[in-house]
Structure formats: structure tokens, C-alpha cells
Amino acid sequence: MEAHPTLTIGDRARRCLNLFIENKEAVKEQVLEGGMPAEASLMDELVRFRLWISNMNVLGDVQECLDFRIKEVPEVVELFTDHLNIIENRLEQREVDEANSYDAEEDRTNKSPTLTDDPISVSVNTDVGAGSDFEQWTLSEILESVSSSISWLHRLSNLVSKAGFARQSREAQKFLLKDAEGRDSEDVTKMS
């Protein structure tokens, strides 16, 4: 997958949401190694992802969304973007893996082997998919990676929120109420 430097965190989150929805039907009949239905596991991660979107107002109005609140801290933007890219790549890989397994099965059933002069000239398609930055993983590994990235998004969000509260507290301590004559609230209460 190529990088999309102009996409906002909100844009990337929308792309991930769409990939979750697209993958839902594809994993409907699959079962993970522990016997858990893959669809249930994928939907659990989708719920956690939507919770993060909601808590951080990722898709909110321009001046209230996460992108606006952290626009002046590019390092933090990059951390969010990196984890959203991981989620996006993993969910896209799951789609590519399914397409490759379908194509490989179709190749096996529709083509018969041909003999050549070179008895070792057998080609095996090990390509994970066009543009994939990852080696082929099982569905369980993909979901674990997605889960880990969503956990990091929650942790990063907690740090951003704590920093915002700390800043508000510092500003509140500096704020002095003044009356119409320019006296601060402490002077007014001492006079009473």
C-alpha cells in the first residue's frame, strides 16, 4: 500500500471502517484457531475501533475533531497515522489473501500441469498481493495485529486527553476574574 500523505486521521479512519465492513462478509464462515468465529472477532475489533472514533471525535466537525486538536504536534499525528496505516494494511491484506487463495484454487482446478524440457521448472505464486508491505499472515495474526493497533490508538488518545486537561488546568490557574473597575476577585472578596 502506498502512503497517502494528504489524508487526515479522519479520512484514514473512514477507510479503515469501510475495510472492516467489506471484510465482514468474507470471514462469515471462517473459524479462528481457538474455535471462535472469525466474524465475531472482527466485529469485536470494529466495535473497539468505533468506540475510539467516538471518544476522540475523529469524524467530528472541522474545529472539534482529533485532526484539529493535534494539528500542531506532527509527531502525535504521525503516531496516529502509523497505527491507522497498520490497520488498513492488515485489513487490505486479508482481502488480498482471500483473492489469492481463490485465484490459486482456480489455477489448480482449471489448469493441468504441462511437461517441459526442464523437470524443475515449476513456478509457485508466493506473492501476497500488489502493494502489500507484509508477509502473508493467518487471519488470527491479522486480527491480533489490528487489535494491538486499536489498543495503541486508545492509549495515544488517553495521553492526548490528559495533556489537554493539564493545559486547561494551567490556564485556569492563571485566569483571574476582574470586576468592572479592574480589581481581581481576591481584592473584591477582601473588601467585603
Q: What global pTM score does this model have?
A: 0.66
List pLDDT tens digits, range 80-97: 999 999 999 999 987 666
Decide: residue 16, CB within 10 A, 0-12 exposed, 13-18 middle, 19+ buried: buried
List pLDDT tens digits, range 100-156: 554 444 544 444 333 333 333 333 333 444 454 546 788 999 999 999 999 999 999
C-beta separation of 89 from 134 below 8 A: yes
| CA geometry: angle 51, 152, 8, nearest 5 deg | 70
Q: What mean pLDDT value characterizes the chain?
A: 76
d(CA 116, CA 63): 66
C-beta separation of 71 from 77 below 8 A: yes
Q: Using 50, 70 and 90 to split pLDDT, how confident is the model at 25?
A: confident
Q: Does residue 56 have a pLDDT over 80?
A: yes
